[in-house]
Amino acid sequence: MIDGYSVLPVRGIGEVRPGDDLARLITDAAPWLRDGDILVVTSKIVSKAEGQLADVPVAGPEREAAREDLLRSETARVVATRGHTRIVQTHHGFVMASAGIDNSNVDRSQLVLLPKDPDRSAADLRATLRERHGLDVAVIVSDTMGRPWRNGLTDVALGSAGIAPLRDHRGETDPHGNDLQITQIAVVDELAAAAELVKGKIDQVPVAVIRGLIQTTEEAPGVVPTLVRTAEQDLFSLGTEEAKEQGRRERSGDPRP
């Protein structure tokens, strides 16, 4: 019966600051980590350790203006806008509200940006844990994202190392002889979701450990090259209103992009 898996919170990590050694903070808080575990680390503490913070005024229109500037610099293209909501594609390729810029769990005078290269962050943490602590673990850097068509957010993976982001059932057949042609499961996103359930927003549990799932630790491509779909491949590369507006402009011969 005990052949499922466990999801364990890592408590006591405390406030993370620029330059902090995440591998040490995590192994101090979770001396019970062991080979084969999958470590799911909230992107916010990765960003903080890497100094991906921006100083902003604590209130007023100056704060809003500074936030706007940051959003612009983190944005590769705007996907959809409604009221104060701005959904954009980041330079990494993620489609997220406000480019993932966050003001929660940080001092009022700062905003947290996404890690510059979350796959690299995951690989670095994995390498440090292996080299300095003798641990062979997979690492996922996760964040909370919205999605179309359904209310509520879920956690997904921004970066990973030591685990294949997709499990591929294409080419297999079921017991009835039917092909399973198109089923690729986004395993790292499901792991990020499973981890969120013990992390919570206020509880200051920024890391969870997933134990007991068989996983390859051979070198696998990260999240960005595997899971991020380009605008050209996507059927929803623009919001409905934005796309309608583009159609109207095309028809009226308006050359604006």
Answer for which of 12, 24, 147, 216 binds its own copies (CB under 8 A) is 147
Burial class (CB in 10 A: 0-12, 13-18, 19+), 104: exposed
Q: Which is nearer to its own copies, 124 or 189 (CB)?
A: 189
- Residue 157 Cβ vs its own copies, minimum distance, rounded to whole Å: 9
Stretch that binds its own copies, among 17-25, 66-74, 118-126, 166-174 (CB under 8 A): 166-174
Q: CB-side exposure of 22: number of CA atoms within 13 Å? A: 27
Q: Can you tell me which residue has the tokens 């489609």?
A: 95
60 near its own copies, rule: CB under 8 A: no
Regarding 216 and contact with its own copies (CB under 8 A), the answer is no
User: Which listed range, 48-56, 69-77, 103-111, 130-138, lies at the site for its own copies (CB under 8 A)?
Assistant: 103-111
75 lies in the binding site for its own copies (CB under 8 A):
no
Backbone angles phi, psi at 124, to 5 degrees: -65, -45
Residue 186 buriedness (CB in 10 A; 0-12 / 13-18 / 19+): middle
Check if the beta carbon of residue 94 is closer than 8 Å to that of residue 115: no
Residues 3-32 that bind its own copies (CB under 8 A): 3-9, 32
Q: C-beta of 50: minimal distance to its own copies in Å?
A: 19
- If binding is defined by CB under 8 A, does position 68 make contact with its own copies? no
Looking at beta carbons, which pairs linking 235-243 to residues 24 or more positions away fall under 8 Å? Answer: 236/148, 237/79, 238/79, 238/80, 239/79, 239/80, 239/81, 239/82, 239/87, 240/80, 241/80, 241/82, 242/78, 242/79, 242/80, 242/81
Choice from 63, 154, 220, 221 touching its own copies (CB under 8 A): 154
Residue 110 three-state SS: strand
**155 in contact with its own copies (CB under 8 A):** yes
Shortest distance (Å) from residue 69 CB to its own copies: 20
For residue 206, the minimal CB distance to its own copies (Å) is 12
Per-residue x/- track, 104-133, its own copies (CB under 8 A) = xxxxx-------------------------
Q: Which stretch binds its own copies (CB under 8 A): 70-78, 118-126, 129-137, 207-215?
A: 207-215
Both tokens assigned to 92: 């990494």
Q: Is 237 in the site for its own copies (CB under 8 A)?
A: yes
Q: Binding residues for its own copies, how many (CB under 8 A)?
A: 85
DSSP characters over 31-83:
TT--TT-EEEEEHHHHHHHTT-EEE--SSHHHHHHHHHHHHHHHEEEEEEEET
> Does the footprint of its own copies cover residue 213 (CB under 8 A)?
yes
